[in-house]
Amino acid sequence: MTRGLFISFEGIDGAGKSSHVQALAEAFRAQGRAVTLTREPGGTPLAEKLRALALNEPMDALTEALVMFAARRDHLLQVIEPALARGDVVLCDRFTDATFAYQGGGRGFDWSVLSQLERWVQATHHAALREPDLTLLFELDPAIAAQRLAGARVPDKFESQPVEFFTRVAAGYGRRAAADPARFGRIDGDQPRDAVWQDVLRCVRERGWLS
């Protein structure tokens, strides 16, 4: 049976990841793979309710981290683990690196507490610590990301944060990538869309997952 694959997409808001999630799903389907396309926070009815709270209601950093991990636990058990067990390619728009980047880096919440929560939440019957096989990290100067987002959509609680917040978020992502470089494919988001897409394809192809 085909082994499941778990790929997450990360980056500060406005880094340009969204259109590539759908395109990568189509590339895998074109080669005969079943794809589960999902997102965090969210991906189940319960986790989508938690998403609406997390993205709209003011709350302290620990509450925010707990809501993110509660949503993640439900999503992992209901959607991600069953899909991986079927042999699907799971493409997830954000996963735990976002909690380290936003709640850890952005909000300044304790990194070691997040590591403990990660170990608790991501232990399942299938894996001692479920993590993506590959994380595509879209990197872009926060000032350029803010320019791209201006006028593009109504900002949520995170998107309306100042540029300095996203500088800290980006540093949080950098810290996660430095701790586990083999898991990360770092993509330069400051390129035309097609060049970014070619870099996405290269990261997946060099692992032998797409021809």
Ligand X SMILES: Cc1cn([C@H]2C[C@H](O)[C@@H](COP(=O)(O)OP(=O)(O)O)O2)c(=O)[nH]c1=O
Residue ranges for the known binding site are: 11-18
Query: Who's near 191: CB < 8 A, 6+ residues apart?
Result: 199
Tokens of 139: 């990197």
Cβ-based neighbours of 165, under 8 Å, separated by 6 or more: 106
Peptide linkage before 41 cis (omega within 30 of 0): yes
3 state DSSP class of 189:
coil
- Residues belonging to the binding site for ATP are 11-18
According to the binding rule CB under 6 A, does residue 99 interact with ligand X?
yes
Give the one entry of ligand X, ligand ADP, none that residue 105 binds, where binding means its C-beta sits below a cut-off of 5 to 8 angstroms depending on kind.
none
199 belongs to the binding site for ligand X (CB under 6 A): no
Binding partner at 39 among ligand X, ligand ADP, none, C-beta below 5 to 8 Å by kind: ligand X
Does 186 sit near ligand ADP (CB under 6 A)? Answer: no
Which region, judged by CB under 6 A, interacts with ligand ADP, from 33-41, 51-59, 117-125, 191-199? 191-199
Q: Is 66 within 8 Å of 12 (Cβ atoms)? A: no
User: Cα–Cα distance between 100 and 121 in angstroms, integer?
Assistant: 14
Amino acid identity, residue 128?
A: A
Pick between residue 122 and residue 161 the one whose CB is nearest to ligand ADP: 161
Residue 176 makes contact with ligand X by CB under 6 A:
no
Give which of ligand ADP, ligand X, none residue 40 binds (C-beta under 5 to 8 Å, depending on kind): ligand X
19 Cβ partners below 8 Å, 6+ apart? 193
| 192 contact choice in ligand X, ligand ADP, none (CB below 5 to 8 Å, kind-dependent) | ligand ADP
Q: Write out the binding residues for ligand X, residues 6-65 only, by CB under 6 A.
A: 13, 18, 39-41, 55
In the DSSP assignment, the letter for residue 88 is P
Judged by CB under 6 A, does residue 11 bind ligand ADP? yes
- Cβ neighbour number for residue 138 with a 10 Å cutoff: 25
What is the rounded distance in angstroms from the CA atom of residue 147 to the CA atom of residue 107?
22
Residues in contact with ligand X by the rule CB under 6 A: 13, 18, 39-41, 55, 68, 93-94, 98-99, 102-103, 156, 158-159
List interacting residues with ligand ADP (CB under 6 A).
11, 13-19, 138, 148-149, 152, 192-193, 196
